[in-house]
Amino acid sequence: MYGAVNSLRMRYLSALSCMIVLGWAVAVHGDEGRPSAGSEGSPPSAIGDGDPENDESRPRHRYFSLDQFDAYLELESTYDYSRVKTGRRRPSRKGFTQKNSDMTFTEKAGFELGGMILDPQIITYSADFSFGLTQNRFKEESRFGDRTNRDSGYLLNYDLRVNLFQGRKISGTVYGLKQNDRISRRFQPTLREDRTGFGTSWFFADDKFPMELSYDYTETDRTGNRNQRDDEHFTESTLHYGVEWVISDRNRIKFSYEHAENKQEYQGLSVPFDTTRDLFLIDHELTFGSQDQHALRTLIHYQEESGDFARDFFEIGPQLTLQHTDNLQTMYKYQFNRERYQGLDIETHRADWQLVHQLYTNLTTTVDVFGLYEDVENDVKTTQYGTSVDWQYNRKNALGHFYANLALAYDTEQIGRASCRERV
């Protein structure tokens, strides 16, 4: 039988990020600051004076500018050491000690740039490019022998983004990115992780119906295993649309729709996991009262999935908040959920009543009463209800602050077996 296991683990991380540079701003949007010919302090030109076609002193329009250019160098090293010691399994057999040390060095160089094309209100851009090298060393010492493993490789990343029509009624962003990374594994083949992504988002600015539309796509490949069937592949695409209807300053409705597709091919599996999701969300908020101190908010959430491990979900939850006085507030909540996945059909009803009273600035009293009913089809039914009272006291004194808290709660739960009904 093994004895106690003692483990000693040390980790050293040194990251040196040097922003060297060149950081200058070119940002030339015109030559307004240059004195024109004939201005005070400059002698008038005798050639072409008064001729608009030969007037070189006029500001020239710039169709491209480089406003930012920063280069950087990053040096990072990681050292990880662990020791595991076991006791004797039997009186005749001694324990053993195993030591592992991992060391990583990464050198990365890159640059960031940004500027405008045509006009700052038409096109602005930003980019980040980097190239790096990485080296790994793994060492293991045990009574079965010593092993050492070394590997090295390169890293390449870029991220390019373009902003269109910023500040206009319709504005948007387009981006593309690429990340080539390495996943080093002790005494196993190093994996290459290539991640590619692109997308766009657009906004419609309006006082009555502001809207947004976006699309994002990401693809990840992990290769390098001895058996190609162990390589992994992931793709995810998401389309999102949102709109808000501003009926008045007190009344507004938000609606959003999202369509997502996921494909996941994991190591060791012969079939992929595919899931398609459609998500609808409605959020209505209404404030009323002489000073808009009361609020009614209703949230409706519907999700429909298809594919592997699909999960369908529906939720509706109104919440009423009444501010009776500056020191007294009550809240009324109700929530209904219905969830379906893997042959399970679960319905949940929950109601809450909450009172919050503030006595001066020192004592806060919170009273909560709730009830819950849950029905799992052809399985169990649960009924739960309870109440709680919580007092929080806070007072400033010469030594600082004094805090005290007292809470009382009662909760009961009843679980019963549901009668089985034959499904048609």
Does pLDDT of 364 surpass 60? yes
pLDDT level of residue 5 (50, 70, 90 thresholds)? very low
Grade residue 368 by pLDDT with cuts at 50, 70 and 90.
very high
d(CA 255, CA 280): 8
pLDDT top residue among 15 and 246: 246
Question: In terms of pLDDT, which residue wins out, 93 or 240?
Answer: 240
pLDDT at residue 32 tops 90: no
Residue 204 structure tokens: 């419609």
pLDDT at 121: 86
How many other CB atoms sit within 10 Å of the CB of residue 357? 15
Residue 44 has pLDDT above 70, yes or no: no
Structure-model confidence comparison of residues 202 and 142, the more confident one = 202
Q: What is the dihedral of CA 206, 207, 209, 210, to 10 degrees?
A: 50
Confidence of residue 26 (pLDDT cuts 50, 70, 90): very low
Average pLDDT rounded to a whole number, residues 222-230: 81
- The model's pLDDT over 249-274, given as tens digits with 9 standing for 90+, comes to 999 999 999 999 999 888 777 778 89
| Alpha-carbon distances, residue 208 vs 88, 100, 204, 237, 240 (angstroms) | 76, 63, 11, 30, 20
What average pLDDT is seen over the chain? 83
Torsions phi, psi for 417 (to 5 deg): -80, 130
Q: Map residue 52 onto helix, strand or coil.
A: helix
pLDDT > 90 fraction of the chain, expressed in percent and rounded: 57
pLDDT, tens digit, 9 for 90 and up, residues 174-207: 999 999 998 888 888 888 999 999 999 999 999 9
- Whether 75 shows a pLDDT value over 70: the answer reads yes
For the residues 341-352, what does the mean pLDDT come to? 90
Of the candidates 237, 109, 106, 236, which has an alpha carbon nearest to the alpha carbon of residue 181?
A: 106
* d(C-alpha 269, C-alpha 383), whole Å: 41
Is the pTM above the cut of 0.85? Answer: no
End-to-end CA distance of the chain: 56
Over residues 46-62, the mean pLDDT reads: 53
79 token code pair: 């050292």
Sorted by sequence, the CB contacts under 8 Å of residue 406 that are 6+ apart come out as 390, 391
Quick one: average pLDDT of 388-396?
A: 92
For strands 380-397 and 344-359, give the pairing: unpaired
Residue 334 — pLDDT band, cuts 50, 70, 90? very high
Q: Return the exposure string of 101-113: e unless at least 16 CB atoms fall within 10 Å of the residue's CB, then b.
A: bbbbbbbbbbebb
Residues in the chain: 424
The widest CA-to-CA distance across the chain, in whole angstroms, is: 109
d(CA 350, CA 371): 6
Range from 15-29, 95-109, 204-218 carrying the lowest mean pLDDT:
15-29
pLDDT, residue 265, reads 86
Q: Which residues contact 358 (CB under 8 A, 6 or more apart)?
A: 326, 327, 328, 364, 365
Q: How far is CA 353 from CA 2, 85, 105, 357, in A?
A: 56, 57, 58, 14
pLDDT above 80 (res 35): no
Q: Are strands 145-164 and 328-341 parallel, antiparallel or unpaired?
A: unpaired
